């Protein structure tokens, strides 16, 4: 069964001095302020498209890795995934770094790395972002 998720942005003004809000309509969990300075300079309490992509990518990757590990018979105790999305004004998104730390009993560091590479290649958000370089750092802990 396919699902559709919806967000809506209301924007007023020109790019450099305008501002807006983005609402997460499907979940209803909130509305967040956005502006050019929050995207290209300091966040100052506002979000950006890149931060929203980072949230989507880190959560999608974690779900994909958790699923792959469980299917291999080594479900994780915990995964902590960080996505750093770099935006360069005038160029766009220039790269994404996914960093994951996992507690996975009964798995080798090599097998964890291989599972993380599989999640990076196959999570739907990674697939949607194939136009950008995605780098992976995977660390098995405890």
pLDDT of residue 127: 96
Instruction: Specify the long-range contacts of residues 127-135, CB closer than 8 Å, at least 24 apart.
Output: 129/53, 129/57, 129/93, 129/96, 132/93, 132/94, 132/95, 132/96, 133/94, 133/95, 133/96, 134/95, 134/96, 134/97, 134/98, 135/95, 135/96, 135/97, 135/98
pLDDT of residue 140: 96
pLDDT of residue 58: 98
pLDDT tens column, 16-69: 999 999 999 999 999 999 999 999 999 999 999 999 999 999 999 999 999 999
Provide the 10 A C-beta neighbour count for residue 54.
21
pLDDT tens column, 122-140: 999 999 999 999 999 999 9
Residue 142 has pLDDT above 90, yes or no: no
Residue 92 has pLDDT above 90, yes or no: yes
Task: Give mean pLDDT, residues 102-107.
Answer: 97
pLDDT of residue 78: 98
């Amino acid at each position: 069964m396919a699902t559709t998720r919806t967000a809506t942005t209301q924007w007023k003004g020109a790019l450099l001095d305008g501002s807006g809000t983005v609402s997460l309509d499907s979940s209803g969990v909130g509305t967040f302020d956005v502006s050019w300075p929050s995207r290209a300079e300091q966040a100052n309490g506002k979000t950006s498209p890149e931060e929203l992509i980072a949230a989507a990518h880190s959560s999608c990757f974690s779900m994909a890795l958790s699923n792959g590990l469980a299917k291999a018979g080594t479900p994780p105790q915990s995964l902590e995934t960080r996505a750093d999305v770099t935006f360069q004004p005038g160029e766009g998104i220039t790269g994404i770094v996914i960093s994951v730390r996992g507690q996975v009993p009964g798995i080798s560091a090599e097998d964890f790395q291989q599972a993380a590479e599989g999640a990076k290649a196959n999570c739907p958000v990674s697939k949607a972002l194939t136009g950008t370089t995605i780098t992976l750092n995977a660390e098995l802990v405890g």
